[in-house]
Amino acid sequence: MIETYLPLIIMLVFGFGIAVVFMLLSEWLGARRFTPGKVSTYESGMPPRGTARERFSVKFYMIAVSFIVFDVEVVFMYPWAVQLGTLGISAFIAMMFFIAILFAGYFWELRKGGLDWD
């Protein structure tokens, strides 16, 4: 019974072990310099304290929306990739259409300067 789970247990132990070893090594061996920017809380590049009703650049949204779109695309593609063998050629064509449509949108965003930071 327990033998069947043995590889799993070994993997868990190794996984934890490596993580802990690396952390300890960097703690012991690494040099350390504290700067104000480095010790502050990280919040997507924005100051974490102060009024929330502050105006900030729409560029963040452009990037964020693009990120979400392609993120979701990848989520769609995982199950598709796993089941592609059984779904056959029509699923392949359908996904190509999907990618083409997304690409058209991406192309438009690119040309309109939606991804230019300046």
Partner 1 sequence: MNQEVFLAMPVFLISAFAVLIVVLDAVSGKNKTINFAFGIFSLLATAGAAIYTLTLQVPKLVNPADYHDIFTITKNTMVFSSYSAYFDILFSLAGILTMLASRSFISKGYHEYKEYYSIIILAVAGMVYISHANNLLMLFIGIELMSIMFYILSGYFRQRIESVESALKYFLLGSFASGFLLYGMALVYGATSSLELNVIAQFIAKNNFNATYLTFGIALLLIGLSFKIAAFPFHQWAPDVYQGAPTTVTAFMSTAGKAAAIFSFIIIAKALMPSFTNNAMRLVSTETMQMILAVLSAATMLIGNITAISQKNIKRMLAYSSVAHAGYMLMGVVANNQLGYDGIIFYATSYLFMQIGAFIVLSVLENKDSSNINLDNFTGLRKSNPYLAALMAIFMFSLAGLPPFAGFFGKYYLFLAAIQSGYTWLTIVAVISSVISVYFYIGLIVYMFFKDSDNPIAKAELKLSSVSLFVCLIGVLLFGFFPSLLMNLYAIIK
Judged by the rule CB under 8 A, the positions of this chain that interact with partner 1 are 100-101, 104-105, 107-108, 110-112
Shortest distance, position 102 Cβ to partner 1, whole Å = 10
Give every CB contact of residue 73 below 8 A, 6+ residues apart in sequence.
Answer: 98, 99, 102
Q: Which is nearer to partner 1, 77 or 102 (by Cβ)?
A: 102
CA distances from 68 to 4, 35, 78, 91, 112 (A): 40, 32, 16, 23, 19
Q: Which is nearer to partner 1, 84 or 114 (by Cβ)?
A: 114
Q: Which is nearer to partner 1, 22 or 108 (by Cβ)?
A: 108
